[in-house]
Amino acid sequence: MRDLVPAQKEMFRHIEDLVRSILSAYGYREVGLPALEMTQLFARLVGESTDIVEKEMYSFQDKNGESLTLRPEGTAGCARLAQDNGLIFNQTQRLWYSGAMFRYDRPQKGRYRQFEQIGAECFGMEGPDIEAELLLMNWRMWKALGLEGHIRLEINSLGDGKDKQKYQNALVVYLADFKQELDEDSQRRMETNPLRILDSKHQRTREILDAAPQMTDFLGNASEQHFAQLCEMLDSHALPYVVNPQIVRGLDYYNRTVFEWVTSDLGAQAAVCSGGRYDGLVEQLGGRPTPGVGFALGVDRLGLLLEASFTSSDAADVFVVSMGEAARLQALVIAEELRDALVNKKVTVHCGGGKLKAQLKKADASGAKLAIILGEEEIASSTVSIKTLRESQAQIALAREKLGDYCTRYFHTG
Ligand code: HAM
């Protein structure tokens, strides 16, 4: 599980703030998903033979003997939430969520056992326009983060259930001739989940796949038209993309459009955001047939891309030091008054006593521009002493009630 130190957490917050404001501008509303769901929910919806369900779930029995799982992803839980709370029937929804997801994976750069996703799920909209909207929204997010040059879009269509099945059969027939040459995982997947073989990184398997049948040749008319319309919409917005027929996604619920936003900057962990359409999911939950489509972005991976350019701002603006018991109490009072007077400024109080020189050293190290000094003399005369820390000006004494005005003016005029 990943620890996030303050500088990393600040970067996560920066990403979340930008993404949140863009989601809101597109009319998406936030929901809160439970961290735990019944294991069965993921097994059924994500798929029994997927890596996530087979190998990566943190599952345990609760005191009642129920099998529960720490959410490995948000789509299944969000669809369940929407269905259970009557958000789906006869209406459309644009929902989003954020939070930690858990997968028992081999940790490495960009791949963690606890990672942060921000996801959006839309219900009740069957056309390609909602997909175009989601992708345009993603694009706006990358631009807002200054990452548009680092992330590119790859899309594909898996067709509808029958198309997917026909393609899968053709793939199995083709691969059967090469079965002994495939890597071990792919040989096993021939039986359990043949489409996932397209994800193999094994060199010989990849060579064999080069001549394999292509999914795009198996799309039925309706899926083909849907995909063509989506491409047309993306073209009309000049949103660059490539069609990659080998995107199959590691979760079973998808049909028709699937997509991945990928980067070349993070080695094997190329996908920073992925999603697609899942029109059968709500029905699988016992609801009425309801179209669905969404994405989830990986905050950890976006954070890695931003690392070089992001500077966290932990510097204080004002640092209050004090000598003696009475001054120590007043330091807290003055700091509260300053926080009332100053907007968006950080006021830090030195706590714990110590020599004045040592306290001023800390004031300097904090990055503050002003040190407010309170000693016995200042307390006796109801004044404060002010020392500028970034420019050489003589220390001044000021009546205490004028401190708020002084600081406001100081920061206002720079
Ligand atoms: P996913 O592709 O499994 O899809 O995950 C979405 C994103 O989460 C990935 O593109 C990646 O950035 C990030 N991610 C996944 N695993 C890890 C990990 N171990 N460490 C760090 N980041 C990771 C889903 O989860 C679907 N629920 C997406 C979706 C929403 N489809 C439709 N709606």
- Please write the tens of the pLDDT for every residue from 307-321: 878 887 789 999 999
Among 138, 258, 238, smallest CA distance to 198 is for: 258
Same-domain status, 148 and 248: yes
Same-domain status, 17 and 118: yes
Q: Report the domain count for the chain.
A: 2
For residue 80, the SS3 value is helix
Q: Is the beta carbon of 199 within 6 A of some atom in ligand 1?
A: no
Tokens of 355: 């020599």
Same-domain status, 150 and 280: yes
The per-residue pLDDT for 246 is: 87
| 367 part of a folded domain | yes
For residue 388, the SS3 value is strand
Same-domain status, 255 and 349: no
The per-residue pLDDT for 249 is: 87
For residue 144, the SS3 value is helix
Same-domain status, 247 and 338: no
**Is 257 within 8 Å of 294 (Cβ atoms)?**
no
Q: Is the beta carbon of 119 within 6 A of some atom in ligand 1?
A: yes
Per-residue pLDDT of the chain (414 residues; tens, 9 = 90+): 889 999 999 999 999 999 999 999 999 999 999 999 999 999 999 998 888 999 999 999 999 999 999 999 999 999 999 999 999 988 999 999 999 999 999 999 999 999 999 999 999 999 999 999 999 999 999 999 999 999 999 999 999 988 989 999 999 999 999 999 999 999 999 998 899 899 888 999 999 999 999 988 999 999 999 999 999 999 999 999 999 988 988 888 999 999 999 999 998 889 999 999 999 999 999 999 999 999 999 999 999 999 878 887 789 999 999 999 999 999 999 999 999 999 899 999 999 999 999 999 999 999 999 999 999 999 999 999 999 999 888 899 999 999 999 999 999 876
Same-domain status, 143 and 260: yes
Q: Is the beta carbon of 72 within 6 A of some atom in ligand 1?
A: no
Expressed in angstroms and rounded, the spacing between residue 343 Cα and the centre of ligand 1 is 38
* CATH code for position 408: 3.40.50.800
Mutate to test the pocket of ligand 1, among 23, 33, 55, 73 (most ligand atoms within 8 A of CB): 73
Among 386, 390, 382, smallest CA distance to 373 is for: 386
Domain boundary among 284, 306, 328: 306
| 155 part of a folded domain | yes
Domain boundary among 258, 274, 306: 306
Q: Is the beta carbon of 277 within 6 A of some atom in ligand 1?
A: no
Helical H segments across 214-324, by residue range: 221-236, 281-284, 299-306
The Cα–Cα gap between 83 and 16 comes to 26
Same-domain status, 345 and 255: no
Hey, which residues does 38 pair with through a beta bridge? 68
| 171 part of a folded domain | no
For residue 265, the SS3 value is coil
Expressed in angstroms and rounded, the spacing between residue 297 Cα and the centre of ligand 1 is 6
From residue 265, alpha-carbon distances to 311, 323, 332 in Å are: 19, 52, 47
The Cα–Cα gap between 94 and 120 comes to 7
The per-residue pLDDT for 298 is: 98
For residue 70, what is the enclosing H or E element?
strand 67-70
| 30 part of a folded domain | yes
Residue 277 sits at φ, ψ, to 5 deg, of: -95, 145
Mutate to test the pocket of ligand 1, among 274, 282, 290 (most ligand atoms within 8 A of CB): 274
**Is 281 within 8 Å of 288 (Cβ atoms)?**
no
| 188 part of a folded domain | no
Domain boundary among 306, 341, 364: 306
Expressed in angstroms and rounded, the spacing between residue 250 Cα and the centre of ligand 1 is 9
Same-domain status, 296 and 347: no
The per-residue pLDDT for 414 is: 61
- Classify residue 54 by its DSSP letter: I
* CATH code for position 113: 3.30.930.10
Same-domain status, 116 and 231: yes
Expressed in angstroms and rounded, the spacing between residue 276 Cα and the centre of ligand 1 is 11
Same-domain status, 13 and 116: yes
The per-residue pLDDT for 382 is: 96
Map 171-201 to HEC letters.
Answer: HHHHHHCCHHHCCHHHHHHHHHCHHHHHHCC
| 297 part of a folded domain | yes
Q: Tell how far CA 149 is from the center of its chain.
A: 19
- Tell me how many degrees the CA angle 159-164-167 measures, rounded to the nearest 5: 115
Domain housing 287: 6-160+220-306
Same-domain status, 91 and 112: yes
| 51 part of a folded domain | yes
Q: Is the beta carbon of 296 within 6 A of some atom in ligand 1?
A: yes
